[in-house]
Chains A and B, each alone.
Chain A
Amino acid sequence: MSMTNVFHIAASALTAQSMRLNAVASNMANADSAHASTGEGYKAKQVMFRAVALDDTAPWAQGVRMTEVVEDARPNRLVYDPKHPLADAKGYVAYPNVDPVEEMVNMISASRSYQTNVEVMSTAKDLMQRTLALLQA
């Protein structure tokens, strides 16, 4: 039954997009986690997507899979705050390299994609129910 592949495709996209949302939530939650400018602090995380064929007999049906989580290589945000307990000799405290605007855009994009795939799933469900009801009544 080939329509079931649509469910698998949409489900893989929902999983991938929710992972992306998780990464955004994690980045936003840690946007203000200060750390010493010499130490290792939180780095903004991004998820990588890749198209994968879900079924060997149907190579055109491609779902999404999250392949890896990459850390943003940009430098930390340094804030001059000599009163802070974590401040270094020059009075600087390091904050994670999270860009809140970027994260918000990412979040909206992920939630839109999630919604679209939920719609895809409900359409596929509708079509399948009608197919099953073909010989009834």
Chain B
Amino acid sequence: MLSKIDQELAFVQTAMSLRAKRQEILASNLANSDTPNYKARDLDFAAALRSATGAAGGALTLATTSERHLGGLGSGVAGAAGVKYRSAVQPSLDGNTVDPDVERAHFAENAMHYQFMLERMRTSVEKMKLALSPTGN
């Protein structure tokens, strides 16, 4: 029973962690919009989610024969999987490739996706509460 609850929430949790990670990357881009030689980056969300949930087609992970072996960077939310440089549309002379308008649009979009995942998490919790309450309301 508990593992099923965990399954329900684990996906939403992974997706939210990745959304938060992407939010950080986009915030970095906006913060560095005036830094010479800074290259704008973004998270390939679909690839990162595949890799983090361990679905087929995700990044390869290292085979370990001891629990003290490193897992490799390709696995999990904390890895660098899916972080890529954005192709520059109109790079600056100082080597900066941040386009603030593009970054702001992505930032707003990502915030909305994050809120959507929050809402999903909330409804899951509410359903669980409903099932747990003795009177059913």
Contacts and interface: CB of A to CB of B under 8 A. Distances in A.
Contact of A58 (B24, B30, B41): B24
B31 A50 contact: no
A70 interface: no
A96 interface: no
A112 B104 CA distance: 13
B118 A131 contact: yes
Interface in A14-53: 16-17, 20, 48-51
B32 A64 contact: yes
A48 B34 CA distance: 10
Contacts, number: 101
Interface in B96-120: 100, 104, 107-108, 111, 114-115, 118
A127 interface: yes
Contacts of B28: 9, 51, 60-63
Interface residues of B, number: 32
Given A5-B27, A51-B35, 9 more contacts: A49-B34, A60-B24, A62-B31, A62-B32, A64-B34, A109-B34, A120-B27, A124-B27, A127-B118
Interface of B: 17, 20-21, 23-25, 27-28, 30-36, 38, 41, 43, 78, 80, 83, 100, 104, 107-108, 111, 114-115, 118, 121-122, 125
9 contacts: A3-B23, A5-B24, A13-B30, A49-B32, A59-B80, A60-B43, A113-B100, A120-B31, A127-B115
